Amino acid sequence: MRKIMKKSIIFLGLFLVMFGWVIKSNVQASTPIELYDNVWRLINTKYVDQTNNEQDWGKWRHKYDNVIKSEDDAYVAIDTMVASLNDPYTKFLNPKEFADETGSIKGSLKGIGIQIGVKDGKLMVIAPIEDTPAEKAGLMADDEILSIDGKSTKGITVDKAADQIRGEEGTQVTLLIKRKDMEPKEYTITRAEIEIKSVSQKVPDNIKIPSDISYIRLSSFISRNASKEFADILNNSQNKKAFIVDLRSNPGGLLSNAIYISDMFLDGGAIVSTVDRDGYKETQKATRGVLTTKPVVILLNKGSASASEIFSGAMKDNKRAVLVGTQSFGKGLVQEINKLPNNSGINITIQKYLTPNGTDIHKKGITPDIIVDLTEENIKNKDDAQLKKAIEVAQSLASGNYVVSK
């Protein structure tokens, strides 16, 4: 990203799938019409596709001059203009959305510490985060949330539910919880600042990891603490013979984390290349020195995106790891996040990226060396066939006898 790169990020799903995050500040006071024009100019000079989706970008500059009277008017006009690019990764962020995103990077948020989702129309607890108010209150995976502060959750979206559950540190939220074979029960929980941990060694149920293999679950690259957490585990695992890095359903995060973590395994060589709107190509190379030379197995699935693909692509092309699982998501674009007046922001796709071998994985993904699907029966029985295969491969690599049964 030449000299402008400060932070880059790659993420998917609840985070959106992004690759680059460069935080640029454009925070001088402005009127709503100036806010709109600021966004127009940023896209005009930065967007990776100089044709702006094969349209006359100039037509948008003064299109709403007589319509925009308030910030809300500007937001609607900006959303309409940005939508014309037909790029899901170039997106305007209102002040709350921008604050949520920057909070994720800082590795903290204010709430009770649960992951939530909608299943069969019901708002469910996916999992409480370790050592948070939600876990301490006794919330469990698969709990159904019937109401939030007395308001029914019927038909609610995940985003709206998250807005209602989050709040200032020290305030309280009351959830009506229904658990299987139990009467609904109210839980009043005090919100706190929640530290987001991206790295864990917690092993999935029904799986036993051999004592000489280190299992590392990397759930996201988004927290700026992720690379340090990862390095700490590597440094404390020098007696292990092999590593399994689980990137399944990892939506991505900071580009810097993907580069730093790749650098922990690579003794030289390219990690990733980026190409901007002018065709300028810049290659990031491993330079920091390896933390381990032990064999590595990486687990992927269709939810492994962006930064996950940077890391796994670098490891695969440099022949430093064996990839196991299913095809990854296929997110090969870089976004820059610009901070705007009134603390809003705009994510702009400014580059595409290539793996060390020059492969463009956008909308294609990365193919593992060993394809292992999880069947419905596997999932029902909590039989993690992918991790079992990764263990088998890691043991073969550690013994110097890499033979994998088909």
Q: Positive or negative, the Cα torsion across 264, 317, 278, 13?
A: negative
Report the C-alpha gap between 374 and 307 in whole angstroms. Answer: 23
Question: Is 154 one of the catalytic residues?
Answer: no
Give every CB contact of residue 274 below 8 A, 6+ residues apart in sequence.
1, 20, 281, 282, 284, 334, 351, 352, 353, 354
Catalytic residue among 263, 317, 328, 344: 317
Report the C-alpha gap between 101 and 21 in whole angstroms. Answer: 11
Question: Is 180 one of the catalytic residues?
Answer: no
Question: Is 237 one of the catalytic residues?
Answer: no
Catalytic residue among 240, 331, 352, 389: 331
Report the C-alpha gap between 100 and 109 in whole angstroms. Answer: 8
Catalytic residue among 104, 237, 256, 306: 306
Q: How far is CA 179 from CA 66, 138, 184, in A?
A: 54, 11, 7
Going by C-alpha positions, the residue among 297, 395, 310, 398 that lies closest to residue 354 is 310
Report the C-alpha gap between 355 and 313 in whole angstroms. Answer: 6
Structure tokens that stand for 359 in this block: 């492969």
Catalytic sites, residue numbers: 306, 317, 331
